[in-house]
């Protein structure tokens, strides 16, 4: 049901005013369980809560839908978050090897083209620049330059499959770096929607709790059901 709740609520979530969107201050899994508990608890007090102006349809009947939407939004964000963290870890492991491979390929071309000043000039051009993105582009440039000058490479009995590997690594590393770069960003679409879903859920919880605490301020047995156990700790 969470996916259906999410799909139902997505237009609402996207229209939550930016100035009211808040990141969770309570662990999301805790908030979700407290919402489930609150929905059940409030059923017994329907008459009293409605009597003090609580919009039963907007906040109580809608609470399970808001809860499901938030649960799904949280799952989507966690999946994206961990995939980015995994990519960042993989990049840290793979990039040193990629730099070494790039440097080896450049040494191969310098030797193969040692009697061709025009080609050596192109190799020097490839070495210009620095950084991860430049290294990734270097691998593709090396592959293209090498494949355009096969005779010089065959003359040194060069393993031409290394050129294919360079092109493939360039593509793979570009994708990996893009994912890894997202690991430090905290403003992804998935997180934004999760925060909106949390805010939307908290709105209903707060309305129900505030009304319940007022109505049952002199009745400890019913009052306790409108208090967050997490915050009470």
Higher pLDDT: 36 or 188? It is 36
Query: Same domain, yes or no, for 75 and 98?
Result: no
Query: Same domain, yes or no, for 60 and 19?
Result: yes
With contact defined as beta carbons under 8 Å apart, do 69 and 32 qualify? no
Q: Is 87 inside any structural domain?
A: no
Q: How far apart are CA 114 and CA 156, in angstroms?
A: 11
Query: Same domain, yes or no, for 175 and 217?
Result: no
With contact defined as beta carbons under 8 Å apart, do 31 and 22 qualify? no
Whether the model clears a pTM of 0.85, i.e. scores above it, the answer is no
Q: Domain of 107?
A: 94-182
**pLDDT, tens digit, for every residue of 98-116?**
999 999 999 999 999 999 9
pLDDT above 60: residue 233: yes
Query: Same domain, yes or no, for 65 and 123?
Result: no
What value does the mean pLDDT take over residues 46-70? 97
- DSSP assignment of 105-142 equals HHHHHHHHTTT-HHHHHHHHHHH---SHHHHHHHHHHH
Instruction: Provide the number of structural domains found in the chain.
Output: 2
Q: What percent of the chain has pLDDT over 90?
A: 82
**pLDDT, tens digit, for every residue of 121-135?**
999 999 988 899 999
- Tell me the pLDDT of the chain averaged across its residues: 93
Query: Same domain, yes or no, for 151 and 135?
Result: yes
Query: Same domain, yes or no, for 65 and 124?
Result: no
Q: How far apart are CA 190 and CA 73, in angstroms?
A: 7
Query: Same domain, yes or no, for 112 and 152?
Result: yes
Query: Same domain, yes or no, for 177 and 197?
Result: no
Q: How far apart are CA 220 and CA 109, in angstroms?
A: 82
- DSSP assignment of 144-159 equals HHHHTTHHHHHTTT--
Final residue belonging to a domain, choices 159, 182, 205: 182
Angle at which helix 189-215 crosses helix 2-14, to 10 degrees, equals: 90
- In the numeric block, the tokens 């290294």 are attached to 135
């Amino acid at each position: 049901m969470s996916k259906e709740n999410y799909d139902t609520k997505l237009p609402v979530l996207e229209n939550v005013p930016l100035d009211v969107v808040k990141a969770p201050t309570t662990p999301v899994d805790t908030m979700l369980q407290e919402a489930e508990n609150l929905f059940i608890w409030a059923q017994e007090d329907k008459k009293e809560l409605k009597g003090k102006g609580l919009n039963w349809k907007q906040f109580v009947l809608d609470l399970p839908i808001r809860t499901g939407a938030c649960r799904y939004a949280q799952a989507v964000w966690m999946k994206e978050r961990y995939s980015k963290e995994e990519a960042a870890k993989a990049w840290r492991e793979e990039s040193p090897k990629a730099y070494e491979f790039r440097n080896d390929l450049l040494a191969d071309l310098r030797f193969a083209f040692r009697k061709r000043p025009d080609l050596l000039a192109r190799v020097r051009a490839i070495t210009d620049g620095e950084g991860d993105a430049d290294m990734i582009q270097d691998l593709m440039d090396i592959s293209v330059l090498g494949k355009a000058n096969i005779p010089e490479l065959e003359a040194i009995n060069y393993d031409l499959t290394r050129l294919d590997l360079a092109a493939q690594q360039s593509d793979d590393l570009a994708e990996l770096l893009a994912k890894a770069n997202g690991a430090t960003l905290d403003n992804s679409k998935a997180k934004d929607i999760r925060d909106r879903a949390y805010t939307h859920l908290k709105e209903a919880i707060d309305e129900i709790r505030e009304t319940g605490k007022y109505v049952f301020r002199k009745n400890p047995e019913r009052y306790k059901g409108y208090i967050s156990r997490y915050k009470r700790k």
